[in-house]
Structure 1
Amino acid sequence: MSLAKTALWGLLILMGALLLDWLLFVRIANAEPVRRYGSSRKRRTPSGPAVPR
Protein backbone atom coordinates (compact mmCIF):
# COMPACT_ATOMS: atom_id res chain seq x y z
CA MET A 1 0.00 0.00 0.00
CA SER A 2 2.89 2.33 0.80
CA LEU A 3 4.43 1.85 -2.64
CA ALA A 4 1.15 2.66 -4.38
CA LYS A 5 0.77 5.80 -2.28
CA THR A 6 4.31 6.90 -3.15
CA ALA A 7 3.71 6.28 -6.86
CA LEU A 8 0.45 8.26 -6.71
CA TRP A 9 2.18 11.21 -5.04
CA GLY A 10 4.99 11.08 -7.61
CA LEU A 11 2.47 11.12 -10.45
CA LEU A 12 0.60 14.01 -8.83
CA ILE A 13 3.81 16.05 -8.48
CA LEU A 14 4.78 15.27 -12.08
CA MET A 15 1.36 16.36 -13.35
CA GLY A 16 1.60 19.55 -11.32
CA ALA A 17 5.04 20.31 -12.75
CA LEU A 18 3.82 19.67 -16.31
CA LEU A 19 0.81 21.93 -15.75
CA LEU A 20 3.05 24.67 -14.37
CA ASP A 21 5.40 24.35 -17.36
CA TRP A 22 2.45 24.48 -19.77
CA LEU A 23 0.99 27.58 -18.09
CA LEU A 24 4.40 29.28 -18.23
CA PHE A 25 4.77 28.36 -21.91
CA VAL A 26 1.30 29.73 -22.72
CA ARG A 27 2.10 32.96 -20.87
CA ILE A 28 5.36 33.35 -22.84
CA ALA A 29 3.57 32.52 -26.11
CA ASN A 30 0.98 35.23 -25.41
CA ALA A 31 3.64 37.81 -24.49
CA GLU A 32 4.26 41.01 -26.44
CA PRO A 33 7.18 39.95 -28.70
CA VAL A 34 5.17 37.13 -30.29
CA ARG A 35 2.08 39.29 -30.73
CA ARG A 36 4.02 41.83 -32.79
CA TYR A 37 5.15 39.55 -35.64
CA GLY A 38 3.60 36.18 -34.77
CA SER A 39 0.32 36.58 -36.67
CA SER A 40 1.94 36.52 -40.11
CA ARG A 41 4.29 33.64 -39.22
CA LYS A 42 1.54 31.60 -37.56
CA ARG A 43 -0.39 31.40 -40.82
CA ARG A 44 2.64 30.17 -42.77
CA THR A 45 3.89 27.53 -40.30
CA PRO A 46 1.28 24.71 -40.77
CA SER A 47 2.05 24.35 -44.50
CA GLY A 48 5.68 23.39 -43.90
CA PRO A 49 8.62 23.49 -41.49
CA ALA A 50 9.39 26.86 -39.93
CA VAL A 51 12.35 28.59 -41.59
CA PRO A 52 14.36 30.85 -39.27
CA ARG A 53 15.19 34.23 -40.70
Structure 2
Amino acid sequence: MLRLSIALIIIAVVAAIFGFGGIAAGAAYAAKIVFFIALALIILSLIFGGFKK
Protein backbone atom coordinates (compact mmCIF):
# COMPACT_ATOMS: atom_id res chain seq x y z
CA MET A 1 0.00 0.00 0.00
CA LEU A 2 2.86 2.33 0.68
CA ARG A 3 4.16 1.66 -2.83
CA LEU A 4 0.78 2.77 -4.19
CA SER A 5 0.91 6.02 -2.25
CA ILE A 6 4.47 6.67 -3.48
CA ALA A 7 3.37 6.00 -7.06
CA LEU A 8 0.45 8.40 -6.67
CA ILE A 9 2.75 11.08 -5.27
CA ILE A 10 5.06 10.66 -8.26
CA ILE A 11 2.09 10.94 -10.61
CA ALA A 12 0.97 14.09 -8.80
CA VAL A 13 4.42 15.68 -9.09
CA VAL A 14 4.73 14.86 -12.78
CA ALA A 15 1.22 16.14 -13.47
CA ALA A 16 1.99 19.35 -11.58
CA ILE A 17 5.18 19.87 -13.57
CA PHE A 18 3.27 19.58 -16.84
CA GLY A 19 0.52 21.90 -15.63
CA PHE A 20 -2.32 19.48 -15.01
CA GLY A 21 -3.50 20.95 -11.72
CA GLY A 22 -6.70 18.95 -11.40
CA ILE A 23 -5.01 15.62 -11.97
CA ALA A 24 -2.19 16.57 -9.61
CA ALA A 25 -4.61 17.54 -6.86
CA GLY A 26 -6.62 14.34 -7.31
CA ALA A 27 -3.55 12.13 -7.24
CA ALA A 28 -2.17 13.91 -4.18
CA TYR A 29 -5.50 13.52 -2.38
CA ALA A 30 -5.66 9.81 -3.27
CA ALA A 31 -2.06 9.35 -2.11
CA LYS A 32 -2.90 10.95 1.22
CA ILE A 33 -5.94 8.70 1.71
CA VAL A 34 -4.00 5.54 0.81
CA PHE A 35 -1.12 6.57 3.10
CA PHE A 36 -3.40 7.07 6.11
CA ILE A 37 -5.18 3.76 5.47
CA ALA A 38 -1.80 1.99 5.32
CA LEU A 39 -0.70 3.76 8.50
CA ALA A 40 -3.87 2.71 10.31
CA LEU A 41 -3.43 -0.90 9.19
CA ILE A 42 0.19 -0.90 10.36
CA ILE A 43 -0.80 0.43 13.77
CA LEU A 44 -3.64 -2.09 14.09
CA SER A 45 -1.37 -4.97 13.13
CA LEU A 46 1.20 -3.85 15.69
CA ILE A 47 -1.43 -3.59 18.42
CA PHE A 48 -3.25 -6.84 17.73
CA GLY A 49 -0.15 -8.73 16.64
CA GLY A 50 1.46 -7.98 19.97
CA PHE A 51 -1.12 -10.09 21.81
CA LYS A 52 -0.22 -13.29 19.96
CA LYS A 53 2.64 -15.49 21.06
1:24 counterpart = 2:25: no
1:4 aligns with 2:24: yes
Segments ≥4 residues shifted beyond 4 Å: none
**TM-score, normalising length from structure 2?**
0.58
CA RMSD of aligned residues (A): 0.7
Q: Which 5+ residue runs of structure 2 have no aligned equivalent?
A: 1-20
Mark the runs of 5 or more structure 1 residues left unpaired by the alignment. Answer: 39-53
> Could you tell me the TM-score, scaled by structure 1's length?
0.58
Distance 1:17 1:29 in 2: 18
Q: State the one-letter code of the partner of 1:25.
A: S
- Name the structure, 1 or 2, with higher relative contact order (CA <8 Å, separation 6+): 2
CA offset at residue 27 of structure 1? 0.4
Q: CA deviation at 1:30?
A: 1.2
**Count of residue pairs brought into register by the alignment:** 33
